[in-house]
Amino acid sequence: MSMMTERDRAAVRQEFEKLAGPVRLVVFSQELLAGDLCRQNEALVREVAELSDQISVEVLNPAIDRERVAVYGVEQVPAIVVEGARDYGIRFYGVPTGYEFGNLIDSIVVASTGQPALAEETLATLRTLTADVDIKVFSTPT
């Protein structure tokens, strides 16, 4: 069963016209912990990746690919890391459907361009950060 409607696909294709560089979606799946959700997540990511040849997908299993998963610091499944020219620190825990799906698409575009849509003042302030900032955003599909 498809995770996306034809209308979703058309809208995402239009968004992906903004892509300016390769993006890698690293999917974290562990069948024994959350089989259904991990399968849904993987299917969704693959459907999204089909909409642009700039997007590649890699699947990691925390029980097997321990070292690589540790480098990403991902502690839950299902999860997605959205990487552009570097690992920008963008993670999704859970299947990003509904409202979160828009955020996933937006994160792919910004990771691809490397150009955040933020005010100049915000960018200047962020450049002065001397400590790490961990932002958790709890969301729901609706």
Distance CA 121, CA 47 (A): 37
Return the bridge partners of 27, or none.
59, 80
Angle at 43 between CA 38 and CA 45, to 5 degrees: 95
Judged by CB under 8 A, the chain residues 103 through 142 that form the site for other proteins are: 103, 106-107, 110-111, 114-119, 122-123, 125-127, 129-141
Minimum distance of other proteins from residue 92's CB (angstroms): 5
Burial of residue 74 (CB within 10 Å: 0-12, 13-18, 19+) is buried
Task: Count residues near other proteins (CB under 8 A).
Answer: 44
- Does 54 bind other proteins (CB under 8 A)? Our answer is no
84, 119, 125 from 112: Cα distances, Å: 5, 19, 23
- Does 62 bind other proteins (CB under 8 A)? Our answer is no
Q: Which of 4, 49, 69, 84 binds other proteins (CB under 8 A)?
A: 84
What are the residues binding other proteins (CB under 8 A)? 34, 37, 76, 82, 84, 88-96, 100, 103, 106-107, 110-111, 114-119, 122-123, 125-127, 129-141
